[in-house]
Amino acid sequence: MARRVTVTQKLGFTALAWGVGMLLFFPILWTVLTSFKTEAEAVASPPSFLFFDWTLENYTEVQHRSNYVRHFLNSVVISLGSTVIGLIIAVPAAWAMAFQPAKRTKDLLMWMLSTKMMPPVGVLVPIYLIFRDLELLDTRLGLTVVLTLIDLPIIVWMLYTYFKEIPGEILEAARMDGAGLWAEIVHVLTPMAVPGIASTLLLNVILAWNEAFWTLNLTAAKAAPLTAFIASYSSPEGLFYAKLSAASTMAIAPILILGWFSQKQLVRGLTFGAVK
Amino acid sequence: MTLRSVLLGMSSLFVLVSAAGAETLTVATVNNGDMVRMQKLTGDFTARYPDIKVEWVTLEENVLRQKVTTDIATKGGQFDVLTIGTYEVPIWAKQGWLVALDKLGAGYDVDDLLPAIRSGLSADGKLYAAPFYGESSMVMYRTDLFAKAGLTMPAAPTWDFVAEAARKITDKPGEVYGICLRGKAGWGENMAFLTATSNSFGARWFDEKWQPQFGSAEWKTTLDFYVKLMKDAGPPGASSNGFNENLALFQSGKCGMWIDATVAASFVSNPKESKVADKVGYALAPDTGLGKRGNWLWAWSLAVPAGSKKTEAAQKFIAWATSKDYLALVASKEGWANVPPGTRASLYANPEYQKAAPFAKMTLDSINSADPTRPTVKPVPYVGVQFVAIPEFQGLGTAVGQQFSAALAGQKSVDDALKAAQDLAVREMTKAGYIK
Whether the per-residue pLDDT at A11 is higher than 70: the answer is yes
Of B10 and A186, the one with more pLDDT: A186
Q: How many helices (H) and strands (E) does chain B have?
A: 19, 10
* Domain range list for chain B: 23-128+297-356, 137-296+373-431
pLDDT at B343: 94
Nearest to B44 by CA among B263, B319, B348: B319
Binary contact (B57, A224; C-beta < 8 A)? yes
Binary contact (A216, B59; C-beta < 8 A)? yes
User: Which letter does DSSP use for residue B286 in this model?
Assistant: P
Distance CA A172, CA A220 (A): 51
A117-156 CB burial, b ≥16 within 10 A, e <16 = eeeeeeebeebbeebbeeebbbbbebbbbbbbbbbbbbbb
Q: Would you say A161 and A139 are in contact if contact means Cβ atoms under 8 Å apart?
A: no
Interface test with B, best of A214, A237, A244 (most B CBs within 10 A): A237
Distance CA B357, CA B78 (A): 38
Closest partner CB to A129 (pick from B67, B74, B188): B74
B234-244 CB burial, b ≥16 within 10 A, e <16 = bbeebbebbbb
| Bridge pairing between strands B177-180 and B255-261 | parallel
Q: Would you say A219 and A207 are in contact if contact means Cβ atoms under 8 Å apart?
A: no
Closest partner CB to B31 (pick from A129, A220, A235): A235
Binary contact (B74, A128; C-beta < 8 A)? yes
pLDDT at B19: 43
Does the reported pTM lie above 0.90?
A: no
Closest partner CB to B267 (pick from A222, A233, A238): A238
Fold of A65-271: MetI-like fold (1.10.3720)
Task: Answer yes or no: CATH 3.40.50.920 is held by domain B137-296+373-431.
Answer: no
Confidence of residue A185 (pLDDT cuts 50, 70, 90): confident
Partners of residue A228 in chain B, C-beta under 8 Å:
57, 59
Closest partner CB to A220 (pick from B30, B57, B74): B57
Partners of residue B31 in chain A, C-beta under 8 Å:
232-235, 238, 240
Distance CA B206, CA A84 (A): 56
Binary contact (A217, B28; C-beta < 8 A)? no
Nearest to B387 by CA among B399, B375, B377: B375
Nearest to A254 by CA among A209, A195, A224: A209
Q: What is the mean pLDDT of residues A130-143?
A: 95
Q: Would you say A70 and B17 are in contact if contact means Cβ atoms under 8 Å apart?
A: no
Whether the per-residue pLDDT at B335 is higher than 80: the answer is yes
Distance CA B227, CA B416 (A): 13
Closest-CA distance of chain A to residue B118, Å: 22
Distance CA B283, CA B369 (A): 13
Binary contact (A231, B70; C-beta < 8 A)? no
Of B347 and A269, the one with more pLDDT: B347
pLDDT at B118: 92
pLDDT at B421: 97
Q: Find the helix packing angle between B33-40 and B324-334, rounded to 10°.
A: 90
Confidence of residue B190 (pLDDT cuts 50, 70, 90): very high
Distance CA B205, CA B198 (A): 9
A218-250 CB burial, b ≥16 within 10 A, e <16 = bbbbbbbbbbbbbbbbbbbbbbbbbbbbbbbbb
Distance CA A268, CA A273 (A): 8
| Bridge pairing between strands B23-30 and B81-84 | parallel
Q: What is the mean pLDDT of residues A193-213?
A: 90
Closest-CA distance of chain A to residue B194, Å: 18
Closest-CA distance of chain B to residue A87, Å: 25
Q: What is the pLDDT of residues A40-92, one digit of tens each?
A: 888 877 888 888 889 999 999 999 888 999 999 999 999 999 999 999 999 99
Q: What is the mean pLDDT of residues B2-6?
A: 57
For B353, the enclosing helix (H) or strand (E) is: helix B351-356
Binary contact (B75, A132; C-beta < 8 A)? yes
Q: What is the mean pLDDT of residues B138-166?
A: 96
Radius of gyration of chain A (CA): 23
Who contacts A214 (Cβ-Cβ below 8 Å, separation ≥6)? A120, A143, A146, A147, A150
Evaluated on CA atoms B338, B339, B345, B348, the torsion sign reads: negative
B150-171 CB burial, b ≥16 within 10 A, e <16 = eeebeeebebebbbebbebbbe
Q: Would you say B315 and B129 are in contact if contact means Cβ atoms under 8 Å apart?
A: no
Partners of residue B263 in chain A, C-beta under 8 Å:
237
Interface of B with A (CB under 8 A): 7, 10, 26, 28, 30-33, 36, 39-40, 55-61, 63, 66-67, 70-71, 73-79, 188, 243-244, 247-248, 251-252, 261, 263-264, 267, 273
Binary contact (A65, B61; C-beta < 8 A)? no
Nearest to B398 by CA among B30, B57, B65, B58: B65
Binary contact (B31, A39; C-beta < 8 A)? no
Binary contact (B243, A43; C-beta < 8 A)? no
Distance CA B324, CA B293 (A): 30
Q: How many CB atoms lie within 10 A of CB A159?
A: 24
Q: What is the mean pLDDT of residues B343-363?
A: 92
Binary contact (B78, A124; C-beta < 8 A)? no
Whether the per-residue pLDDT at A276 is higher than 80: the answer is no
Lowest mean pLDDT among A262-266, B113-117, B268-272, B373-377: A262-266
Q: ipTM of this complex > 0.85?
A: no
* Domain range list for chain A: 65-271
pLDDT at A181: 86
User: Which letter does DSSP use for residue A186 in this model?
Assistant: I
- Which 3 state secondary structure label does DSSP give A72? helix
Who contacts A158 (Cβ-Cβ below 8 Å, separation ≥6)? A196, A199, A200, A203
Binary contact (A124, B67; C-beta < 8 A)? no
Closest-CA distance of chain B to residue A38, Å: 9
Confidence of residue B25 (pLDDT cuts 50, 70, 90): very high
Confidence of residue B16 (pLDDT cuts 50, 70, 90): very low
Q: What is the pLDDT of residues B229-247, one digit of tens each?
A: 999 999 999 999 999 999 9
**Cα angle value A181/A182/A183 (rounded, 5°):** 95
Strands annotated E in B154-235: 177-180
Lowest mean pLDDT among A178-192, B23-37, B271-285: A178-192
Partners of residue A39 in chain B, C-beta under 8 Å:
273
Distance CA A223, CA A204 (A): 19
Closest partner CB to A216 (pick from B67, B188, B267): B67
pLDDT at B35: 92
Partners of residue B73 in chain A, C-beta under 8 Å:
125
pLDDT at B41: 95
Closest partner CB to B273 (pick from A39, A65, A220): A39
Distance CA B131, CA B303 (A): 9
B23-128+297-356 — its CATH code? 3.40.190.10
Closest partner CB to B31 (pick from A124, A220, A234): A234
Q: What is the mean pLDDT of residues B205-223?
A: 97
Closest-CA distance of chain A to residue B267, Å: 8
Confidence of residue B28 (pLDDT cuts 50, 70, 90): very high
Name the residue in chain A with its Cα closest to that of B24. Answer: A221
pLDDT at B17: 44
pLDDT at A4: 61
Q: What is the pLDDT of residues A19-33, one digit of tens each?
A: 999 999 999 999 999
What percentage of residues in chain B have a pLDDT greater than 70?
A: 95
Q: What is the pLDDT of residues A139-163, one digit of tens each?
A: 999 999 999 999 999 999 999 988 8
Nearest to B129 by CA among B97, B106, B155: B97
In the predicted model, what is the mean pLDDT of chain B? 92
pLDDT at A218: 93
Interface test with A, best of B29, B53, B67 (most A CBs within 10 A): B67
Whether the per-residue pLDDT at B49 is higher than 60: the answer is yes
Q: Would you say B429 and B263 are in contact if contact means Cβ atoms under 8 Å apart?
A: no
